[in-house]
Structure 1
Amino acid sequence: MAIVCKNCFCRKVLTCQTGKKSNFWRFSEVLRRCSSTLPFSSDRDPAQSEGLPIHKYIDKTHKRVNMLFACGLTATGALGLREKSSRTQSRRYPIRLTNIGKLKITSVGCGYGYTVFASNNRDLIKVWGSGINTQSQLGFHSSQKGVTKGRPAESGHFDYVMETTAIPIPFDSFSKTKVTQVSCGRAHTLLLTDNEGIFSFGCNSFGQCGREIIEGEIYQGSRKIHCIPHNHFLSPVTQISCGMDHSLFLTKSGEVYGCGWGADGQTGLGSYEKTGIPKLLKGDLEGVKVQQISTFADMSMAVCEDGHLYGWGNSEYYQLASVTDDTQVCTPIRLPFKNIGKIVSAAAGGSICCALNEEGEVFVWGYGILGKGPDLKDSRHPEKIPQTLFGESTFSPSVKVTKIKCGMNHFAAVTNNGELFTWGKNKSGCLGIGEYRDQYFPWKVLVPGEVVDVFCGVDHTVILSKSML
């Protein structure tokens, strides 16, 4: 039996029981042919009548689909859209990444002009990337028609990957190893696996890849992929975070390790020197069990189990001004913020910081567009953003923020009802609000489906969501 629209007011092509098709402008004919079978009266039971249309609904066994969306600068290839027109150098609305979204992506790293995607499946290929590849931060890529761009080096390596391409990683066991997280810096990439440690590739000029620094090493066209085993640390690593030119590692037992460039103290190792070997952070973190770390540029933060917040690195923009007037701090210090509750998550950007407490309240400080209007340009202490700006109201009193992220100069927050809000500098439309203007308050981003996570870069943003049905 054919399916017939309940009242024939649909603009889509309709199929009546006569087997013929009709469009909206042939409404009268379809209505006449289907009038004998359409249930116009609400008191008629379709189950008790013969010849009525069958309506099919989605049942509980239907699986929701993972979807990826991205917005921001496309000229570098970071979105993997393979843009050809000079008039589409950026996307101010979230656009679905159909070429990579079918691969069940679970983690994304937004670097400086490039993006790396990872899945935790058991397939041969687990990592993909696109964008700037001048320092082999996407691995080695030879000429591929329509994928790579620019003149190749003597090695045949291309500096730009314009379409999302597989990145081969030398796992010992492709069937057993899972990639649980990916993180990207200015020109280096870290991959966290469940049982083979951390894989790093790209620029290692300051030791940010966690290996020995080789003076004069050429990174363009490099095929070197380094592995840091889990047994290098006191316990297995559970979280990684890349800064501009440094890296942080959080272990299962709550210790934090750092390596890379330390000129602003961002490695937290008690000195301003660079180092290629991940070392244990001490200071106020000594004896404390950390549950989350965050860094993006040259300032770092950590959240411990009891809800206290710690910071180190650059403080030129008041990030650590609540504790010290020093503009560089090389040792982790506790941030004695008051009246902000128990912190469960924190995010550090270029000159901006934010924290989320267990009540779902968001606090911001630093320098830039903080989210409380154009008059608030800087703050030494956390400023609470009203919950109503994230959708809380009399009709939705239970709405609260569950995740917060920072890019270089913009914020993103995900609520418990799957909505995404962004604010801050809107470079190349990275906020996804449909405009190129800066946004001084949290603004809801229109994303099809339920937002699961968001990943922020310098000038682009990637959104992971699930279909509603």
Structure 2
Amino acid sequence: MSLKLYTSALTQLRKLLSLSERISGREYASGWKKRTLKREKIKETVIRYVGVNAVRTQRVYLWGCSATGALGIQQFLRPNRLQKPKLKVPYPTRLKYMNEYDFEIYDIACGYGFSIFAVKKSKQHYLLATGINTDSQIGFHEEPKNSGRLLDYVIAPLPISLPLNEPELTQFKSIACGRAHTVILTQDNTVYSLGNNSYGQCGRGIVQDEVYSKSSRVNVLTDLPDNIVKVECGSDHTLFLTKTGEVYSCGLGADGQTGLGMYNNQGTPLKLEGDIQKEKIVSVASKGDCVLAVSKKGEVFGWGNSEYNQLSMVTEETQVNVPRHLPIAKDCGRIIQVAAGGSICAVLNEHGEVYVWGYGILGKGLQVDMSLMPTKIPQALFGESELLPNIKVTNIICGLNHFVALTDKGDVYTWGKDKDGSLGLGECKNQFFPLRVALPAEAKSIYCGVDHTVTLCRSFC
């Protein structure tokens, strides 16, 4: 090639390279401009819409034992190949299922390894359940439908089928769960029960050697008045509260927990007498075999198991089979709520103060594991300070061995034995005084099983 041709070719190549650089520069500038405009648009959208017109959405956060499916998150037990199943979750985890299907939750109940959600969508109502189902306590389920493959465990929420006249229009007024049974009260004052009835806890006659596994039986209780407003389940007994403040019960009576003046099992619900006979009871609580009740006047009554000094202020016996008045209001003030676990008890007064007694981790520190009389937990342990001087507890519940409290600021505090992460504090360690759970939302209500906890919340924005 001659020098002249080489010079001409080199000049053309330089022109082409220069043109290519200009084109790529323009493309890069154009791409940068687009990306910049996109980022600015996102910023503008966040400031203009989310900050001003955001709608606070309902959210469910739960934690604790997931091995039974009680948390309702399928991925914990059926993860991908690179992950191991999570049998316990010691930190708050969001149950996205309800938001994905646009369900609004209005009641929740937690049993021994299972959970039930009363939900609505538009004007339709459903009862969804997840968790252990070895005694058909959450209904008759087969997967897939009409396959004949019946489930002992449900790992994601499924609907419970009830013999309702208007299945999707009937609202659920109250639901409660025990060790292996469930009781449901509907808006038309009909009471249904499912699951184990070995002691009559489902409100019907006891059938010897009855098989409860994989059963489609749903009981309709007909021996109750038509003004029931709330149901409550202990481990193997059931309590029914009427609008006029009367209490009915059935089930296991070995510790006197039915309050019927005997220690026999009772299949048909009967009315309680004793010291509550002329009182209007407004609330009852029982997670194990001890029962506490509070009257409209703010007085407390108790019956059932007292092996751990739950009722020692009125008796030296270890069982009480009839409601007895507990003289604690004079020291604790007017009581508005009670909580009774396996060996631990608590009351909440009208000033938002919590008093505890019994045996176990009471929330008074490492050195205090027993108290014969209710003692107050300092308000500072629930977040009260100079900056927040008037913190009040609005709700107190318990499992068998742990407490959960809700404050008027929407904060949740837990303490007690941390069975399978049921405290939600990130570590499976016992907690000897109330500690706040790190929730990314404002808690509105709390629910407690023996090894898991559920909170119904509203998002911050």
1:261 to 252, 256, 259: 252
Q: Is the 8 A contact 1:177 1:196 kept in 2?
A: no
Alignment-mate amino acid for residue 286 of structure 1? Q
> Structure 1 residues 20, 359: closer, same or farther in 2, change over 3 A?
same
> Structure 1 residues 170, 62: closer, same or farther in 2, change over 3 A?
farther
Cα displacement (A) at 1:157: 2.1
Q: What's the RMSD between the two structures over aligned residues?
A: 2.5
1:370-449 aligned at under 5 Å gives the runs 370-449=362-441
Q: Is the 8 A contact 1:261 1:275 kept in 2?
A: yes
Which position in structure 2 is the counterpart of 1:113?
113
Cα distance in structure 1, aligned partners of 2:37 and 2:305: 66
Which position in structure 1 is the counterpart of 2:92?
94
Cα displacement (A) at 1:182: 1.5
C-alpha distance after superposition, 1:262-293 (max 9, x if no partner): 00000111111111111100000101000101
Which position in structure 2 is the counterpart of 1:368?
360
Q: What is the number of residues matched between the two proteins?
A: 421
Alignment-mate amino acid for residue 156 of structure 2? E
SS at match of 1:339: helix
1:246 to 230, 237, 246: 237
Which position in structure 1 is the counterpart of 2:22?
none
2:275 to 280, 284, 296: 284
SS at match of 2:105: coil
Cα distance in structure 2, aligned partners of 1:53 and 1:130: 39
C-alpha distance after superposition, 1:41-65 (max 9, x if no partner): xxxxxxxxxxx99941458875321
C-alpha distance after superposition, 1:164-215 (max 9, x if no partner): 2111222112354211222110100011211141111001111101112222
Which position in structure 1 is the counterpart of 2:221?
228
Which position in structure 1 is the counterpart of 2:310?
319
Q: Is the 8 A contact 1:266 1:312 kept in 2?
A: yes
Q: Radius of gyration: which is bigger? A: 2
Cα distance in structure 2, aligned partners of 1:266 and 1:59: 52
Which position in structure 2 is the counterpart of 1:141?
141
Question: 1:20 and 2:35 equivalent?
Answer: yes
Cα distance in structure 2, aligned partners of 1:20 and 1:252: 64
> Structure 1 residues 235, 141: closer, same or farther in 2, change over 3 A?
closer
Alignment-mate amino acid for residue 71 of structure 1? W
Q: Is the 8 A contact 1:235 1:252 kept in 2?
A: no
C-alpha distance after superposition, 1:64-110 (max 9, x if no partner): 21111110111111111222354521101110001135421121111
1:165-314 aligned at under 5 Å gives the runs 165-228=158-221, 232-314=223-305
Which position in structure 1 is the counterpart of 2:56?
64
Which position in structure 2 is the counterpart of 1:340?
332
C-alpha distance after superposition, 1:420-457 (max 9, x if no partner): 00000011111001111110010000112110111111
> Structure 1 residues 99, 297: closer, same or farther in 2, change over 3 A?
same
TM-score, scaled relative to structure 2: 0.86
Cα distance in structure 1, aligned partners of 2:129 and 2:278: 38
Question: 210-219 vs 358-367, which deviates more?
Answer: 210-219
> Structure 1 residues 22, 121: closer, same or farther in 2, change over 3 A?
closer
SS at match of 2:420: helix
Cα distance in structure 2, aligned partners of 1:257 and 1:122: 34
Cα distance in structure 1, aligned partners of 2:427 and 2:46: 44
Cα distance in structure 2, aligned partners of 1:379 and 1:325: 15
SS at match of 1:105: strand
Cα distance in structure 1, aligned partners of 2:434 and 2:243: 34
Runs of at least 5 residues in structure 2 that lack an aligned partner in the other structure: 1-30
SS at match of 2:322: strand
Alignment-mate amino acid for residue 401 of structure 1? V
> Structure 1 residues 135, 123: closer, same or farther in 2, change over 3 A?
farther
Cα distance in structure 2, aligned partners of 1:144 and 1:163: 13
Cα distance in structure 2, aligned partners of 1:191 and 1:62: 36
Cα distance in structure 1, aligned partners of 2:251 and 2:375: 32
SS at match of 1:164: strand
1:162 to 145, 155, 162: 155
TM-score, scaled relative to structure 1: 0.85
Q: Is the 8 A contact 1:122 1:176 kept in 2?
A: no
Structure that is richer in helix per residue: 2
Q: Is the 8 A contact 2:125 2:171 kept in 1?
A: no
SS at match of 2:71: coil
Q: Is the 8 A contact 2:123 2:169 kept in 1?
A: no
Question: 359-368 vs 56-65, which deviates more?
Answer: 56-65
